[in-house]
Amino acid sequence: MEPSLGRSTIDTHRAPLQNLMGLKTYIAKRDFSKTAEPKGGKPLPKKVKGASRFVIQKHDASRLHYDFRLEMDGVLKSWAVPKGLPWAQGEKHLAVEVEDHPLEYATFEGIIPEGEYGGGTVMVWDRGNYYVYGEQPVKSLREGKLHLVLEGEKAKGEWTLVRIRSEEGKNQWLILKTGASAKPLSKKREDESVKTSRTMKEIADEHDAEWESNREEKDASARSTLKARIKATLKKKENVGRDNARPARTRTRREGRDAALRRPGHRSAMSLPELPSAKPRFIEPMKPRRMEEPPPNGDWIYELKFDGIRAIAVKDGSKVNLISRNENELRTRFPEIADAVKKLSTQECVIDGEVVALDGKGRSSFQLLQALDPEGRKAPVRFYVFDLLQLDGKSLIKLPLAQRKELLAKLCEGIGDPIRFSGEIGSDAKSLLAEVKHRGLEGLIGKQRDSFYEPGRRSGAWIKLKCVNEQEFVIGGFTPPGGSRKYFGAILVGYYKDQRLLFAGKVGSGFTGKSLSILHKKFQSQSRDDCPFADLPSKEGGQWVQGITPSMMRKMHWINPVFVAQIKFAEWTRDGKLRQPVFLGLREDKNPKEVIWEA
């Protein structure tokens, strides 16, 4: 006999409680803080007609990312998620809302042609059904919070999308892992299509499907002109040495080398079509090795060292990304630079440079860049560019430095501020260092003239010569405020050695009332009970290091070592501590684990 309508309604509302009662023994035998087994008792939301399918597409465009799409209102509501789904409970990743896509896009796997919007390889990475708590997905989307249950082939469990802000007409969201943690995928499964079981490389190689976006090309004439100039620069020059217009004379070593570079068959004497193909995407910056003295031999060129934020500018059609060395997006922070890169007369390029703020004497100042200037002045911001890594579908990293810089100089012709070309200032390092020091500048960067670009490496083909003692340190805590100062007295900083955070000293100067307040708020979010430094407290010559006794340790405020500070100082003391350190600002472009003792 079927139950009456009234009984059915009552049972439906009692279901969660009855489920928990029936699972009493199951729950009593388990500690759900230690096991990932489902706790039970939470009913699955109902399916909503027209809002049930989801798809995640892995998309290798200017940067590898994941497109998260939910069927809703007859379209696919879409978000670009740079780091993909978070798997650990409480973990959150950025999700940028993008334009709605047609429903048929949910099954697309293949190639978006280069030059088209979003050009690159697309994989159907996961698909399935989704449910929304509250069972009103359109309303939840409008209100800025979607609590989802995903039933995919890879993603199973709860996630929540939360809108946090709107920038440049785009809604910025966070996608959080709610509910229990999920086990991350294996490397093989992560690069496997749920539609065809192919890898990204196999999809790209087979090239069996294309998606056209119908986006019109812009500035075609300017781009064609630039390509002609580039081809002329890289074109092989035959009959080297037969130029009758040049008077006969003995070549210098440099002229001989340049002639060899132009000789047919030499690896760097390529025309643009002969260079390897490459998409416009983030390339990890090449790193200089610190040296105390200039190298005694070798063919080196020297450029000014800047005190700013290293950035890779990626232009893909009308889209521009400005990315720090640890892959933070800087476009919204420095929109004037992104706009200037967009105006370059080329469809695609990847440029290495440094964002700097200039003081009244034209010197770069990291402190000004961090907007911590005591008088609140706004300094002019510039993007000094010094290397070109990709251009119109071709990789340039295997070209010699001299040729890359020549191409970059041509690309920057006629471009005014905020973009500035950083060229060679000379080859005599000792005399240059004396002048740089006299002018109060940061130092020099030396580069071997024929060096290739080595992404992410510190090979020694690039070096840095500093005129001031300045480097990054990890913040591990702070002292209580004293006298009239508010918030805190000094920060406690250190560096990593053998995966241990070692104490380098207390930094109590360089702060303003505003910066003390901002930093204190940041520190409070990372508070911890124990000291993160492996060597505190400790004694040197029978004395407690910097007067930090065990009793004083109890008065310190400790934080997780996630913040990196730029510190200027007079010298290292004999016991390896900073003398006269000054805080310049926080570095958001540096991984704390990469901070080491540089001297």
Q: Is 305 a catalytic residue?
A: yes
Burial of 3 (0-12, 13-18, 19+ CB in 10 A): exposed
In DSSP terms, which residues pair with 507 in a beta bridge? Answer: 491
With CA atoms as reference, report the closest residue to 154 among 125, 188, 196. 125
Catalytic residue among 58, 92, 195, 305: 305
Q: Is the dihedral of CA 470, 476, 479, 480 positive or negative?
A: positive
Residue position matching structure tokens 């805190």 = 488
- Produce one character per residue of 204-228: b if its CB has 16 or more CB atoms within 10 Å, e if not: beeeeeebeeeeeeebeeebeebbe
Q: Residue 362: which residues within 8 A CB-CB, separation 6 or more?
A: none
What count of residues does the chain have? 599
The torsion of the CA quartet 509, 513, 517, 518, rounded to 10 degrees, works out to -80
> Which tokens is 279 given?
């998409």
Asked if 85 and 56 touch (Cβ cutoff 8 Å), the reply is yes
Give the three-state DSSP class for 140. helix
The torsion of the CA quartet 85, 87, 89, 93, rounded to 10 degrees, works out to -30
Burial of 24 (0-12, 13-18, 19+ CB in 10 A): exposed
> Which tokens is 414 given?
């006629």
Ramachandran bin of 215, using left for φ above 0, alpha for ψ from -120 to 50, beta for the remaining angles: beta
DSSP structure class, residue 298 = S
Radius of gyration of the chain (CA): 29
Give the three-state DSSP class for 29. coil
Active-site amino acid positions: 305
